[in-house]
Structure formats: C-alpha cells, structure tokens
Amino acid sequence: MSDLLVRPHAPDEAGRLLEVTPQSAGWTYIGFAVHRLAAGATLSGGGDGREHCLVLLTGRATVTAGDHRFAAIGGRSSVFEGAGHSVYVPGGTGWTIVAETPLELAVCSAPGGGDLPPRLIAPEDVGQETRGQGTNTRYVRNILPDDAPAHSLLVVEVVTPGGNWSSYPPHKHDRDAPPQETLLEETYYHRLDPPQGYAVQRVYTDDLDLDETITVRDGDCVLVPRGYHPVGAAHGYELFYLNVMAGPRRKWIFANDPAHAWIVEAQK
C-alpha cells in the first residue's frame, strides 16, 4: 500500500477512524483525524499551540470552545447534502464536543496562535462556487479560505460528479515562491456515493521522483506532501473530499503542470 494512503480502521476508544499527525506524515504542519461518535459521547482536544477547525461531517452536536458554546449545530445526514457546520478554535483554547445524534467529525489542525476568538462557521457562511467545465466540473464549499481569519489552516469541501475530474488540470503548491506559488501540505479525505465506489488520485512531481496512482475507497485519506495531485471519480459514483492545507504562508497560490496548462486556456 502507498505511504501516501491512510485507510480507516475500526473506531478506537475515542471513536477515531483515522489519524494523520505531522510525525506520522513526516511533515511540519497538518494534523487530521476523523471520529465517529455515538449519541451522548464526548470528545475533547485543543489547548495547545495548534488551531483547530472542527468539521461536522454528519450529525448534530454541541461544541464548547473556551467561553463560547455553540448548541445543537449540524444536522447533515450525508456530506453530499450541501454545506454543513464547522467551528474554528484558536491555538491555546480547549474544546469539547458532545454528540447530540450519531456524529461523524473531522478534526483539522495546524500551528496557530490564540489571538482570534472561537467562531461558528454556519452553512450560510460557507462560500460556494462551481469550478471547471464539462467533465472537469466540480462544486466547491470554502469553509476556511485564505481570506477568512486564521493563522495556518485552510479548509475546503469539494463534490465531484461521477465521471468527472477534480483538482484538474493537475496543479501543485510545494514551493515557497510567491507570487508564483506557495508551499502548502495537503490532505484529501474522500467519501463516495454509493459507498462501494472508487476514485483515482495521482500524486507526481515534474521529475517523476514521486509518481503514485492511488485507488481511493470510501473513507480513505491521501497525503499530498508535494507534487501535482489530480483526482478522477469513477462513472456512477459521486466523490466528496475534504481538503486541509497549511504551510509557512496562509495563501493558496498554485502552479499548473505546464504539460496540461493548455486546458485552462481552452476553457476560457
């Protein structure tokens, strides 16, 4: 199995299905975990030098972050329904989440200070856009974009119809060289509808020192430490992915693969 692929396992005592840490990924910034909690279960975290974005994938919960309480938020029965609720928690602030119903929760983290307040990111606060044309069309939900307050984290959801491509033309963001490009680590957490489907993600560099094509199943996470990283959804299977990005500059500036940059011009 590829070192870039993290597959889910049976829930542990904390309901954790998968986890990525800077240590396990061999990088500097991103932490990511997915938990499945029963109604009434509690999960706590934070209070360190990392900021968090708690993304309610499905279900409803009450979140307490420092002195802030966000009661009975969420409610999606599927990540394919539309934008959901998230909570931003700054570094140094502890958080606790109590599941009001069965809950699927994504915990995104990166280094961050404590000078921002916790805040609710409601569906109406999520910027939504359509990118691409034809079989390159996908639907984007910007939960924590680079123009929203945070220190390191960038968080976005994308839904790609079956048979379409996403993160395409292939692009990368692995050089700290603004304004041409910024260095951002990235995780892709994938879900499929129906869940027995699959998708394909390629991660590769210009010199092909890194060149992996990964079969993605429902619940898988793909690490993108560097290189281009396009995704294709199999016909008949809608693909959702949750992206987390972080790096030394909180700005998403990407560079397209020169071999495929003509596609952008053709779509204008």
Q: pTM for this structure?
A: 0.97
Residue 231 contacts residue 243 (beta carbons within 8 Å): no
The C-alpha atoms of residue 98 and residue 100 are separated, in whole angstroms, by 6
**How far is the C-alpha of 61 from the C-alpha of 71, rounded, in Å?**
7
**Which is nearest to 243 in space by CA: 146, 134, 98, 149?**
146
Whether residue 240 is predicted with pLDDT greater than 80 in this model: the reply is: yes
What pLDDT is stored for residue 134 in this prediction?
Answer: 94
pLDDT tens for each residue of 140-197: 999 999 999 999 999 999 999 999 999 999 999 999 999 999 999 999 999 999 999 9
State yes or no: pLDDT of 1 exceeds 90. Answer: no
* pLDDT value, residue 195: 98
Domains of the chain with CATH codes: 5-266 (2.60.120.10)
Q: Would you say 174 and 224 are in contact if contact means Cβ atoms under 8 Å apart? A: no
Residue-wise pLDDT tens digits, 46-63: 999 999 999 999 999 999
For residue 267, the model assigns a pLDDT of 74
Q: Is the pLDDT of residue 268 over 80?
A: no
Q: Over range 253-262, report the average pLDDT.
A: 96
How would you classify the pairing of strands 154-160 and 138-144? antiparallel
* C-alpha separations of 79 from 75, 238, 255 in Å: 10, 11, 29
Which residues touch 248 (CB under 8 Å, ≥6 apart)?
Answer: 176, 183
Taking only the tens place, the pLDDT of each residue in 78-125 is 999 999 999 999 999 999 999 999 999 999 999 999 999 999 999 999
**Torsional sign, CA 243, 246, 252, 258:** negative
Is the pLDDT at 266 greater than 80? The verdict is no
pLDDT digits (tens, 9 = 90+) for 4-43: 999 999 999 999 999 999 999 999 999 999 999 999 999 9
pLDDT of residue 218: 98
